[in-house]
Amino acid sequence: MDSSSYTYFKEQKLSIICAPFCGGQGKPGVEKGPRYMLKNGLETDLKELGWTTKIDEPLDEKELLEKTKIHDGIDFYKNAKRPSLVGETSQKIYQSVKDALAEDRFPLTLGGDHSIAIGTVSAVIDKFPDVGLLWIDAHADINTLESTDSGNLHGCPVSFLMGLNGPENTPDALKWCPGSLKPSKIAYIGLRDVDAAEKKIIKDMGISAFSMYHVDKYGINKVIEMALEAIHPGGGNGPVMCSYDVDAVDPLFVPATGTPVRGGLTLRESLFLVERLAETGNLVGLDIVECNPNLAVDDIHVANTISAGCAIARCALGETLL
């Protein structure tokens, strides 16, 4: 793709924002995601696609890992684990994404667990108030503080983004989050493990959700087009943010992730999805989250997972097969 293909980032400037955070869930290792993806040559590959890159590391991986242990058992709100740390960390990511967008840089954020999207999506909405959000995931991540069984906040970011917890029921450290995402501005793709309470929220609020059933029924291209039409009615045109949890991809292809669920997207469907979004020229932000090298059984698992994460980034940012 040449730079004229981009509606919002004609100068093709990019910030790679590293978000090595594992405190939104309980399995250490997911903080290694950014480091592993960069070691895999991601920055060089993106440069070759024409992007001028800058790496932003607002978090200290080691310090944060220590803090996550310290916060265990003392930092909680109702059933939710480590809300102060999640709030403080996602606010730092929020600032980094805001800084990138202020310089007209495309924000590519590498997680870390999915709680960091509280920061990324909020910042993108500040810059593009009419942005539509595509949440690519096996899970809906829309549990509220009331409904979460596990208490892991990586299962709750959408509820904060939408303001579903209400001001009086939001932990102090998360009160910075505007919570302004409207139900009509989000669409899910890839769902296959949705809690009963989440199903109710999705139904009651009329949120567009395309599960693996829809992918099987209509094919991935039609699903993407329906999702775009849902967030931008009347042609599907307008800014799009993509928050991509690699567990949307079938564990055959992405085994090293915290909450794998079988029956997911094939590797081609996963990449086609972002190739198709790149083709619209309307992408304004991308997260790639939940790559956890510690959960690999062998080196091939690590390589498959990390290379899939990197391929998603490249395809979203202009890599094509021909």
Q: Which residues bind Mn ion (CB under 5 A)?
A: 114, 137, 141, 245
Nearer to Mn ion, 75 or 141 (CB): 141
Nearer to Mn ion, 245 or 319 (CB): 245
319 is catalytic: no
Among candidate residues 31, 75, 245, 275, the one labeled active-site is: 245
**Strand pairing of 76-77 and 208-211?**
unpaired
Among candidate residues 113, 250, 275, 290, the one labeled active-site is: 290
Q: Contact 100/107 with Cβ under 8 angstroms?
A: yes
Nearer to Mn ion, 43 or 137 (CB): 137
Nearer to Mn ion, 14 or 117 (CB): 117
Q: How many angstroms separate the Cα of 234 from the Cα of each of 208, 237, 238, 275?
A: 15, 8, 10, 22
Q: List all residues 6 or more positions away from 98 whose beta carbon is below 8 Å from its beta carbon.
A: 123, 126, 127
CA-based nearest residue to 24, from 111, 94, 86, 90: 86
Among candidate residues 31, 56, 75, 137, the one labeled active-site is: 137
Q: How far is the CB of 153 from Mn ion (least distance, A)?
A: 11
195 is catalytic: no
Q: How far is the CB of 138 from Mn ion (least distance, A)?
A: 7
Among candidate residues 61, 141, 250, 287, the one labeled active-site is: 141
71 is catalytic: no
Residue 188's DSSP bridge partners are 135, 209
214 is catalytic: no
Alpha carbons 215 and 246: distance in angstroms, whole number: 16
Alpha carbons 35 and 319: distance in angstroms, whole number: 22
114 is catalytic: yes
Alpha carbons 4 and 182: distance in angstroms, whole number: 30
Q: How far is the CB of 155 from Mn ion (least distance, A)?
A: 7
99 is catalytic: no
204 is catalytic: no
Nearer to Mn ion, 141 or 275 (CB): 141
245 in a known ligand binding site: yes
Chain position carrying tokens 């590391």 = 57
Among candidate residues 61, 71, 114, 319, the one labeled active-site is: 114
Query: What would the two tokens of residue 14 be?
Result: 């990019």
71 in a known ligand binding site: no
Query: What would the two tokens of residue 91 be?
Result: 């606010």
Among candidate residues 247, 269, 287, 319, the one labeled active-site is: 247
Q: Contact 281/6 with Cβ under 8 angstroms?
A: yes
Q: How far is the CB of 260 from Mn ion (least distance, A)?
A: 12
45 in a known ligand binding site: no
Q: How far is the CB of 243 from Mn ion (least distance, A)?
A: 8
Q: List all residues 6 or more positions away from 314 whose beta carbon is below 8 Å from its beta carbon.
A: 42, 45, 46, 49
Nearer to Mn ion, 105 or 139 (CB): 139
Q: How far is the CB of 264 from Mn ion (least distance, A)?
A: 12
H-assigned helices in 105-173: 117-127, 157-161
290 is catalytic: yes
114 in a known ligand binding site: yes
Concatenated DSSP letters of 60-114 = -HHHHHHHHHHHTTTSEETTEE-HHHHHHHHHHHHHHHHHHHHTTEEEEEEESSG
72 in a known ligand binding site: no
Residues annotated within a binding site: 114, 137, 139, 141, 245, 247
Which residues are the active-site residues?
A: 114, 137, 139, 141, 154, 245, 247, 290
Q: Which residues are annotated as a binding site for Mn(2+)?
A: 114, 137, 139, 141, 245, 247
